[in-house]
């Protein structure tokens, strides 16, 4: 499939709708037609909200006709990862255990999107409870990569990435706990951003690992990602981890260029990326140097410990967070002779294999006699990683790495080997542990013409320089076409 046209730009759609040159209803119907055409093949969605989207688009058009401004995302079709609460609309986390649950409230990001005039087209598929790197772990079936349907779209936000790559929605939201926005963005050839921890409210996001989870956008352009983050970012008193500080407009930052910016090359980065991915990374360094940036060598010695620390910390937090799914308060319940038996049979039937694996890992790491040896030690490693990044950012404004070690891989290629699957996130996980921002930018193709993403990293609240760098890479790719 060819890449979406420039008409898919959220900035262009919103400008056209606000000026009256475009009708939100027409924009929506164009996207719904694409869904009708290819959704059966791709399975990006768990639920398409066509009727509700039509009503929302009509309301946007009515506001424009009345001389009112619907907002900066007027008429922009958006898809939501199905772990974000939507009032009265099923939110499943792609798990059987939440069967039938309809939240009584909207997540903060949903509220902000609606207030900005966006039109929600559906809830997207994901690895169950956001645990996976291929969107093969969904209880409702796998999502396919629109660039090559024999391959995975990445995960866990594979449905959200595929929705944008296929043109089903102009933009989408995903969540990133260890790379679940950036890795599928790379594999599907779109832009994906994990903001600084606390930059975007987590209120209404169904928790996987609360100290790591962050919501962020998938878009076709860096400019659209800046617009979306400007809308959904900012302090939220409903989230105790939300940063209580004003955030500068990222739309303004992307015009500044990279003249004088210091771009770091991590000399002790873990090896294992395929040669075609490394080649695109080197081309990205060359492009930034040509645009006026300075390339500097830095070291992040604890980077290679990220995977080990993550797979103790994240499962431990998941073990605690997922204890609430017991068949008593909401979702699936399997009847049994007594309460304890009901807990066991409900959770056995409701959770998939990968979720069970991580719950058991986490419970073990938190158990008496093992807490200090595993979970406690992992927290110390997490501190080391953050400190090493902080030292690197004294020498560099941003860092560049591969996003994924490979291009999109075939279905089933890693499913029987959990460790091989976990290695998909070797370059993304350390940033989550540090709480820093990161984003993946499409930068050409690798093996078999499949997309390669370059990852741009920066320090806490370093989104402006991160977006400046991403925009420069995007311009370099545009100039090369």
How would you class 380 by CB atoms within 10 Å of its CB: exposed for 0-12, middle for 13-18, buried for 19 or more?
A: exposed
pLDDT value at residue 330: 85
Q: Which CATH number fits domain 6-257: 3.10.20.30, 3.40.30.10, 3.90.1300.10, 3.40.470.10?
A: 3.90.1300.10
pTM of the predicted protein model: 0.96
Q: What is the pLDDT of residues 154-195, one digit of tens each?
A: 999 999 999 999 999 999 999 999 999 999 999 999 999 999
CB 273 within 8 A of CB 454: no
Residues 6 or more apart whose CB falls under 8 angstroms from that of 268 comprise 299, 300, 301, 303, 304
Report domain extents, the chain. Answer: 6-257
Query: Considering 8, 180, 242, 319, which one is annotated as catalytic?
Result: 180
Active site residue 156: yes
In Å, what is the CA distance from 91 to each residue of 88, 154, 205, 347?
A: 9, 21, 10, 18
Active site residue 180: yes
Active site residue 102: no
The CA-CA-CA angle for residues 156, 85, 324, to 5°, reads 80
Q: In the chain, which stretches have pLDDT less than 70? A: 1-8, 480-481
Q: Sign of the CA dihedral 296, 302, 304, 306?
A: negative
pLDDT value at residue 418: 86
Residue found by looking up tokens 């946007």 in the block: 60
pLDDT value at residue 76: 98
Mean pLDDT of the chain: 96
Q: What is the pLDDT of residues 320-351, one digit of tens each?
A: 999 999 999 889 999 999 999 999 999 999 99
pLDDT value at residue 479: 78
pLDDT value at residue 8: 67
pLDDT value at residue 329: 86
Query: Considering 9, 23, 81, 157, which one is annotated as catalytic?
Result: 81
Query: Considering 156, 172, 201, 440, which one is annotated as catalytic?
Result: 156
pLDDT value at residue 4: 36
């Amino acid at each position: 499939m060819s890449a979406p046209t420039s008409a898919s730009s959220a900035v262009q759609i919103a400008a056209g709708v606000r000026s009256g040159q475009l009708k939100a209803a027409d924009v929506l119907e164009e996207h719904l037609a694409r869904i009708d055409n290819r959704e059966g093949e791709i399975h990006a969605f768990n639920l398409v909200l066509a009727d509700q989207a039509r009503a929302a688009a009509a309301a946007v058009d009515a506001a424009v006709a009345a001389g009112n401004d619907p907002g900066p995302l007027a008429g922009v079709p958006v898809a939501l990862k199905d772990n974000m609460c939507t009032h009265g609309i099923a939110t499943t986390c792609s798990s059987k255990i939440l069967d039938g649950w309809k939240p009584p409230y909207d997540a903060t990001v949903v509220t902000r999107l609606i207030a900005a005039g966006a039109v929600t087209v559906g809830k997207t598929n994901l690895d169950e409870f956001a645990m996976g790197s291929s969107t093969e772990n969904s209880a409702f079936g796998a999502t396919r990569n629109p660039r090559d349907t024999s391959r995975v779209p990445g995960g866990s936000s594979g449905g959200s990435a595929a929705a944008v790559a296929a043109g089903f929605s102009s933009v989408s939201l995903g969540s990133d706990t260890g790379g679940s926005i950036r890795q599928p963005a790379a594999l599907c050839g779109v832009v994906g951003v994990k903001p600084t921890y606390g930059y975007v409210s987590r209120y209404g996001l169904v928790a996987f690992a609360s100290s790591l989870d962050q919501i962020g956008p998938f878009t076709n352009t860096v400019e659209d990602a800046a617009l979306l983050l400007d809308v959904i970012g900012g302090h939220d008193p409903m989230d105790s981890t939300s940063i209580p500080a004003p955030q500068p407009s990222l739309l303004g930052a992307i015009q500044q260029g990279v003249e004088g910016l210091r771009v770091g090359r991590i000399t002790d980065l873990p090896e294992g990326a395929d040669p075609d991915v490394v080649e695109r990374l080197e081309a990205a360094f060359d492009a930034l140097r040509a645009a006026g940036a300075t390339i500097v060598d830095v070291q992040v010695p604890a980077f290679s410990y990220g995977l080990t620390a993550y797979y103790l910390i994240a499962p431990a937090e998941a073990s605690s967070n997922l204890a609430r799914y017991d068949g008593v308060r909401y979702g699936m319940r399997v009847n049994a002779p007594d309460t304890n038996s009901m807990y066991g049979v409900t959770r056995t039937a409701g959770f998939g294999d990968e979720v069970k694996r991580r719950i058991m890992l986490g419970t073990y790491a938190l158990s008496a006699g093992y807490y200090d040896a595993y979970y406690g030690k992992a927290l110390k490693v997490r501190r080391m990683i953050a400190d090493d990044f902080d030292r690197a950012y004294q020498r560099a404004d941003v860092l560049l790495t591969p996003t994924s070690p490979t291009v999109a891989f075939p279905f089933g290629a890693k499913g029987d080997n959990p460790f091989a699957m976990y290695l998909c996130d070797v370059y993304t996980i350390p940033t989550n542990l540090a709480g820093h921002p990161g984003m993946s930018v499409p930068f050409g193709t690798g093996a078999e013409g499949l997309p390669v993403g370059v990852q741009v990293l920066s320090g806490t609240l370093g989104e402006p320089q991160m977006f400046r760098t991403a925009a420069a890479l995007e311009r370099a790719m545009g100039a090369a076409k």
